[in-house]
């Protein structure tokens, strides 16, 4: 019951042989060696497995890989500039604010924070907390994560003005 799916992965056209019961995280890790999306709770609650499918954030742990056939998929690995490897403003802000300890949750937070700033370029604290409420950090770096998002928002604004 193997099938071939083809999709765009971080801007590149790719194909993979998968089984219908494989989830998206399994396929990204096994077939493409992309380890940024990782399974933690496995139940849609923590966001460690966040992947963008057609521009929408999904929990890769609950998403059948077969469903990305023909879709546009983005992972945390696409945040840095492909050519220069320069980090994105959100990634920079996470480092500067010290928004992690072990880093296990960080790829998910980075993608969700990036989405958040697309939706709300100038978020208030409430919007940040609400948007990120489905991401869990066992090291409890929450205050720093919120500070990082605010910092990234200011940077983005400064960049777009200047």
Partner 1 sequence: MTPFELVEPASLGEAIALLDPEDAGVRPIAGGTALMLMMKAGVFRPTRLVSLRKLARLNARIAATSDGALTIGAMTPLALVERSPEVARIVPVIPRAMRRLSNIRVRNVATIGGNLAHGDPHMDLPPLLIALNAEVKVVGANGAQAAERMIAVEALFTGYFETVLAKNELIAELRIPPQGRSRAAYLKVTTGSAEDWPALGVAVALESEGSAVKSARVVVSAATEKATRLKGVERLLAGATVDEKMFARAGDAAAEEAECMTDVRGSAAYKRELTRVYVGRALRQALNSDGATR
Ligand X SMILES: Cc1cc2nc3c(=O)[nH]c(=O)nc-3n(C[C@H](O)[C@H](O)[C@H](O)COP(=O)(O)OP(=O)(O)OC[C@H]3O[C@@H](n4cnc5c(N)ncnc54)[C@H](O)[C@@H]3O)c2cc1C
Interface ranges with partner 1 (CB under 8 A): 1, 3, 19-21, 23, 42-45, 47, 50, 56-59, 61-64, 66-67, 112, 115, 130-131, 133-135
Among 32, 40, 45, 101, binds ligand X (CB under 6 A): 45
Residue 116: count of CB within 10 angstroms of its CB: 22
63 versus 100: smaller Cβ distance to partner 1: 63
Please name which of 33, 37, 32, 124 lies closest in space to residue 75, comparing C-alpha atoms. 37
- Measured from each CB, the residue nearest to ligand X is 44
Q: CB-based burial of residue 2 (10 Å sphere; 0-12 exposed, 13-18 middle, 19+ buried)?
A: exposed
Query: Interface residues for ligand FES in 2-61 (CB under 6 A)?
Result: 39-42, 44-49, 59, 61
CB of 134 to ligand X, least distance (A): 8
Q: Residue 119: which of 130, 103, 108, 107 has the closest Cα?
A: 130
Contact 18, 31 (CB under 8 A): yes
Q: Which residues contact 86 (CB under 8 A, 6 or more apart)?
A: 80
Residues 141-160 that bind ligand FES (CB under 6 A): 141
**97 binding ligand FES? (CB under 6 A):** no
Which positions from 47 to 86 touch ligand X by CB under 6 A, shown as an x/- string? ---------------x------------------------
> Can you say whether residue 69 is alpha, beta or left, with left for phi > 0 and alpha for psi between -120 and 50 degrees?
beta
- Distance separating alpha carbons of residues 117 and 114, to the nearest angstrom: 5
Query: Binding residues for ligand FES, per CB under 6 A?
Result: 39-42, 44-49, 59, 61, 100-105, 137-139, 141
Query: Binding residues for ligand X, per CB under 6 A?
Result: 43-45, 62
């Amino acid at each position: 019951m193997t099938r071939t799916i083809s999709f765009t992965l971080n801007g590149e056209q790719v194909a993979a042989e998968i089984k219908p019961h494989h989830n998206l995280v399994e396929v990204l890790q096994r077939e493409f060696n992309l380890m940024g999306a990782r399974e933690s709770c496995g139940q849609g609650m923590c966001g460690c497995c966040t992947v963008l499918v057609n521009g929408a954030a999904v929990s890769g742990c609950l998403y059948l890989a077969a469903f990305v056939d023909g879709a546009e998929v983005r992972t945390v690995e696409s945040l840095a500039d492909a050519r220069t490897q320069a980090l994105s403003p959100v990634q920079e802000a996470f480092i500067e604010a010290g928004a992690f300890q072990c880093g296990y949750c960080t790829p998910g937070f980075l993608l969700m924070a990036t989405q958040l700033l697309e939706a709300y370029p100038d978020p208030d604290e409430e919007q940040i907390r609400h948007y990120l409420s489905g991401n869990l950090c066992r090291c409890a770096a929450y205050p720093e994560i919120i500070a990082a998002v605010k910092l990234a928002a200011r940077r983005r604004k400064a960049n777009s003005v200047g």
